[in-house]
Amino acid sequence: MTLDKVRKGQQIKIISILDEIIRVQAIRFGIAEGSVVTCQEKVPAGPIVLRKNNQEIAIGRNLANKIDVALN
Protein backbone atom coordinates (compact mmCIF):
# COMPACT_ATOMS: atom_id res chain seq x y z
CA MET A 1 0.00 0.00 0.00
CA THR A 2 1.02 3.64 -0.18
CA LEU A 3 2.01 5.83 2.75
CA ASP A 4 -1.12 7.99 2.63
CA LYS A 5 -3.24 4.95 3.55
CA VAL A 6 -1.39 4.43 6.82
CA ARG A 7 -3.23 5.17 10.03
CA LYS A 8 -1.91 7.13 12.98
CA GLY A 9 0.14 4.96 15.33
CA GLN A 10 0.86 2.20 12.82
CA GLN A 11 4.36 0.88 12.40
CA ILE A 12 5.42 0.51 8.79
CA LYS A 13 8.36 -0.44 6.62
CA ILE A 14 9.37 1.80 3.73
CA ILE A 15 9.37 -0.31 0.57
CA SER A 16 10.17 2.16 -2.18
CA ILE A 17 10.47 5.88 -2.84
CA LEU A 18 10.11 6.82 -6.51
CA ASP A 19 11.72 10.26 -6.72
CA GLU A 20 15.51 10.16 -6.68
CA ILE A 21 16.12 13.49 -4.94
CA ILE A 22 13.58 12.65 -2.26
CA ARG A 23 15.07 9.18 -1.86
CA VAL A 24 18.54 10.63 -1.30
CA GLN A 25 17.30 13.21 1.19
CA ALA A 26 15.34 10.55 3.04
CA ILE A 27 18.52 8.50 3.40
CA ARG A 28 20.13 11.44 5.19
CA PHE A 29 17.21 11.62 7.59
CA GLY A 30 17.56 7.89 8.24
CA ILE A 31 14.47 6.86 6.33
CA ALA A 32 16.04 4.75 3.63
CA GLU A 33 14.09 2.09 1.79
CA GLY A 34 13.76 -0.85 4.14
CA SER A 35 13.71 1.16 7.38
CA VAL A 36 10.93 0.83 9.93
CA VAL A 37 9.08 3.94 11.07
CA THR A 38 5.93 4.92 12.98
CA CYS A 39 3.15 7.15 11.70
CA GLN A 40 3.17 9.79 14.39
CA GLU A 41 0.49 12.08 13.04
CA LYS A 42 -1.71 12.59 10.01
CA VAL A 43 -2.76 16.14 9.23
CA PRO A 44 -6.24 15.92 7.61
CA ALA A 45 -5.71 16.12 3.83
CA GLY A 46 -2.19 17.32 4.65
CA PRO A 47 1.24 15.96 5.45
CA ILE A 48 2.02 12.71 7.24
CA VAL A 49 4.49 12.83 10.10
CA LEU A 50 6.79 9.85 10.43
CA ARG A 51 8.85 9.09 13.48
CA LYS A 52 11.97 7.05 13.86
CA ASN A 53 13.43 7.11 17.36
CA ASN A 54 13.59 10.84 18.13
CA GLN A 55 13.53 11.95 14.54
CA GLU A 56 10.33 13.40 13.10
CA ILE A 57 9.75 14.10 9.44
CA ALA A 58 6.73 15.62 7.72
CA ILE A 59 5.92 14.31 4.24
CA GLY A 60 3.43 16.06 1.96
CA ARG A 61 0.29 14.12 1.04
CA ASN A 62 1.06 14.03 -2.69
CA LEU A 63 4.48 12.63 -1.97
CA ALA A 64 3.04 10.07 0.45
CA ASN A 65 0.88 8.74 -2.39
CA LYS A 66 4.06 7.78 -4.20
CA ILE A 67 5.83 6.00 -1.33
CA ASP A 68 5.19 2.29 -1.05
CA VAL A 69 5.06 0.88 2.46
CA ALA A 70 4.07 -2.29 4.23
CA LEU A 71 2.69 -2.77 7.70
CA ASN A 72 5.32 -4.08 10.02
Do the bridges between strand 11-17 and strand 67-71 make them parallel or antiparallel, or are there none, so unpaired? Answer: antiparallel
Provide the H-helix boundaries in 1-72: 20-29, 61-64
Q: Does 41 bind another protein (CB under 8 A)?
A: yes
Q: Does 25 bind another protein (CB under 8 A)?
A: yes
Among 71, 7, 18, residue whose Cα is nearest residue 44: 7
Q: Does 23 bind another protein (CB under 8 A)?
A: yes
Q: Does 7 bind another protein (CB under 8 A)?
A: no
The site for another protein (CB under 8 A) is made up of 20-30, 32, 40-41, 43-47, 49, 51-63
